Amino acid sequence: MTSQIPHPAQLPLDFDACYRAISGRDTRWDGRVYLGVTSTGIYCRPSCPARKPAAANCRFFASAAACVAAGFRACKRCRPEAMPGTRDWDIREDLAARAVRRIRDGAIDSAGVGGLAHELAVSERHLHRVLVDEVGASPLQLARSRRAHAARTLIEQTTLPLSDIAFAAGFGSLRQFGDTMREEFGVTPSALPRHADKTAKESTQGGSLSPTGGPSSDERPSLTLQLRTRAPFDVAGIRAFLSAHAIPGRDQISGTHSAHAVDVPGGTAVARIDWSATHEHRGHVLIPLQLALPGLSDTMPAIASIRRMLDLDADPTQISETLGNDPLLAQMIAARPGLRLPGTRNPQEFALGTVLGQQVSLAAARTLQGRLASLFASENPVAAEGFVAAPDVLAVAKTPIVQLREKIGLTEARANTLRAVAAALSEGLNLGHGGDRELARRELLAIRGIGPWSVELIAMRALGDPDAYPAGDLILKKALGTKTERETTLAAEGWRPYRGYATQHLWADFLAAQAERQAR
């Protein structure tokens, strides 16, 4: 019998359970637990094919950064640092979880440890203590590991000069870049396999990779990468979702290709995906991504946004084990293995779009959202040809109600709600992944015209809550055969903490039909 998979809420890790996992090379534990071998100074994923070390030589950690902080270097054979992320930290709502989510999104790169502590309303010292206790690494160590792993991906998948890679990955200097890479991998950046070394690349990364593109016609930096996620991955499901929710001016869907405007610090990036080239390799799915960027420093913010949008850090095995005990969901999971819970590229845009989508069809919502985007696009230092930036919430908040009604085509009540939400966002309502979810729910519910359905949808897509559950949704009730919100809520108690994924499965047929209708 395999061991139950742990998550950060169960720290400290149980040594015996972890050791059983590495003894059986249980791939379910990969990315959730890391093995440090004291006799070699190397850390591995639990499924590493190397010979099992003696128990006396084993230490177990909750993150790759914690391994490095303890003095271990990444195994060259199993590449533990190349694992996709985990949504375990999205389940929790405490300080440590919120901090990890924000560090994962690059908060320290943009604001430093002090800025993150200020955002979370704690002192730097307290934040440091909590993360060391909960994760085994300091905020700065977590951020450095994130940069190092990003840099290694760029080294392997592109032909960028190392100096450009250091800048793109968020390092402040070449010296810091070199020191961190040696600490993480035991070698200098120049000693790592480069894109041109296909033999080394295929043995560690899997599959051939497209070269880095040169400057595009508008002289924007262009990169071609492959994003990694755990298999299975429901390509048809994610394409149906993107098609059903495509906003004019922000998304372009054509056959097996999709393009999306992504808001980054330097302006508007464009992410293009060829879904026909997505393929599975050694338990992972590789998704080809082309990025047109305002500048190389926008690389990591753009990738982080796309990973959220496609939910690439999900663990489908863990989710199916939780939801598969329900006979109805078990059938749906079997029909759509690897279905994801897509996030949003811009929380503020999504909140405004949710208001516009209340009590109208998806097609009508897309039209209204497209008008909002074209009329209120943020002033952008570097715009992308054919795309507009996300709406400026302050501009929406300052626009008279009569103009919102006339320009977008809204009822007076809906225009009032849109303006009220925009005002709350401009005054600091935080709907990002690091936000306080319960506080955000309360503040949203206090806005006239915002009900539980809208709040849970925003929690699901913007705040990244995998347990968000819009129990009042009509399609959800129809799929479950329930009549009241209370019945719908009771039916989902056994699905915690993944009620959001269950909802996505229950919506899947409707979204597929919408996408098919749109494609005609």
58 burial (CB, 10 Å; 0-12 / 13-18 / 19+) is middle
Gyration radius of the chain's alpha carbons: 23
Strand order, beta sheet including 42-44? 58-61, 34-37, 42-44, 73-74
Give the per-residue pLDDT at 86. 86
- At 519 the pLDDT is 65
Global pTM? 0.90
Is residue 341 within 8 Å of residue 311, measured between CB atoms?
A: yes
d(CA 487, CA 363): 29
Q: What is the pLDDT of residues 383-431, one digit of tens each?
A: 678 899 999 999 999 999 999 999 999 999 999 999 999 999 999 999 9
Residue 78 is a catalytic residue = no
| Calpha distance 374→376 (Å, rounded) | 6
pLDDT at 518 over 90: no
C-beta of residue 302 within 8 angstroms of C-beta of residue 478: no
> Three-class SS string for 257-326?
EEEEEEEECCEEEEEEEEHHHCEEECCEEEEEEEEECCCHHHHHHHHHHHHHHHCCCCCHHHHHHHHCCC
Q: What is the 3-state secondary structure (H, E, C) of 46-65?
A: CCCCCCCCCHHHEEEECCHH
- State yes or no: pLDDT of 210 exceeds 60: no
Res 220 pLDDT > 90 = no
Q: Which of 173, 163, 131, 170 is nearest to 148 (CA)?
A: 170
pLDDT at position 219 is 67
214 has pLDDT over 50: no
How far is residue 181 from each of residues 100, 108, 189, measured CA to CA in Å? Answer: 21, 18, 6
pLDDT value of position 195? 65
Q: Encoding tokens for residue 321?
A: 């084990």
Q: pLDDT at residue 269 above 50?
A: yes
How high is the pLDDT of residue 379?
86
How far is the C-alpha of 458 from the C-alpha of 92, rounded, in Å? 17
Which 8-state DSSP code applies to residue 9? G
CA dist 140 and 68 (Å) reads 12
Cα-Cα-Cα-Cα torsion 157, 162, 168, 172, nearest 10 degrees, comes to: 150
Answer whether 163's CB lies under 8 Å from 175's CB: no
What average pLDDT does range 261-284 have in this prediction?
Answer: 94
Nearest CA to 466 among 88, 26, 79, 49? Answer: 88
What tokens does 192 get? 């790592």
Look up the CATH number of domain 347-519.
1.10.340.30
The strand pair at 257-264 and 251-254 is best described as antiparallel
Structural domain spans, the chain: 8-82, 88-157+160-193, 205-310, 347-519
DSSP 391: B
Q: What pLDDT sits at residue 47?
A: 93
Tens-digit pLDDT profile for residues 489-517? 999 999 999 999 999 999 988 877 766 66
3-state DSSP call for residue 44? strand
The arithmetic mean of pLDDT across residues 451-471, rounded, is 97
pLDDT in tens, 122-145: 999 999 999 999 999 999 999 999
CATH fold, domain 205-310, is: TATA-Binding Protein (3.30.310)
At position 428, the amino acid (one-letter code) is G
Cα–Cα distance for residue pair 137/510, rounded to 1 Å: 44
Q: State residue 515's pLDDT score.
A: 65
Distance CA 175, CA 490 (A): 56
- Do the Cβ atoms of 472 and 452 come closer than 8 Å? yes
- pLDDT at residue 282, as a whole number: 85
The active-site residue, picked from 90, 311, 392, 473, is 473
8-82 CATH fold: DNA Methylphosphotriester Repair Domain (3.40.10)
Residue in the structure block whose two tokens are 């994610």: 238
- Is the pLDDT reported for residue 326 higher than 70? yes
CA 170/CA 150 separation, integer angstroms: 9
- Res. 520: pLDDT tops 70: no
Helix (H) or strand (E) holding 444: helix 437-445
Q: Which among 44, 48, 67, 75 is annotated as catalytic?
A: 44
Mean pLDDT (whole number) for 35-47:
96
Question: 10 Å Cβ neighbour count for 442?
Answer: 11
10-29: average pLDDT: 86
Percent of the chain at pLDDT > 70 equals 91
Q: What is the pLDDT of residue 8?
A: 52
- Main-chain dihedrals φ then ψ at residue 290, nearest 5 degrees: -110, 125
**C-beta atoms surrounding 43 within 10 Å:** 26
CATH number of the 88-157+160-193 domain: 1.10.10.60
Q: Give the rounded distance of the alpha carbon of 227 from its chain centre.
A: 12
In this prediction, residues 51-66 reach a mean pLDDT of: 94
**pLDDT, average across residues 159-173:** 94
- What is the phi/psi pair of residue 291, to 5°? -115, 125
Catalytic: 473? Answer: yes
The span from the CA of 348 to the CA of 171, in Å, is: 28
- Select the more confidently predicted residue: 10 or 414: 414
Distance between CA atoms of residues 191 and 162, nearest Å: 11
- The string of pLDDT tens digits covering residues 350-396 is 999 999 999 999 999 999 999 999 999 998 766 678 899 999 999 99
Question: Cα–Cα distance between 118 and 112 in angstroms, integer?
Answer: 10
Q: Please tell me the total number of residues recorded for the chain in this structure.
A: 520
Query: In the predicted model, is pLDDT for residue 217 greater than 50?
Result: no
Position 84 confidence tier, pLDDT thresholds 50, 70, 90: confident
Q: What is the pLDDT of residue 381?
A: 67
| CB-based contacts of 497, cutoff 8 Å, min separation 6 | 91, 322, 466, 467
pLDDT for position 370? 97
Average pLDDT, the chain: 90
Residues 86 and 31: their CA atoms lie apart, in Å, by 7
The tally of CA atoms less than 13 A away on the side-chain side of residue 430 is 13
Question: Hey, what are 283's tokens?
Answer: 């338990």
Q: Do the domains 8-82 and 205-310 sit in the same CATH topology, yes or no?
A: no
- Flag whether pLDDT at 484 surpasses 70: yes
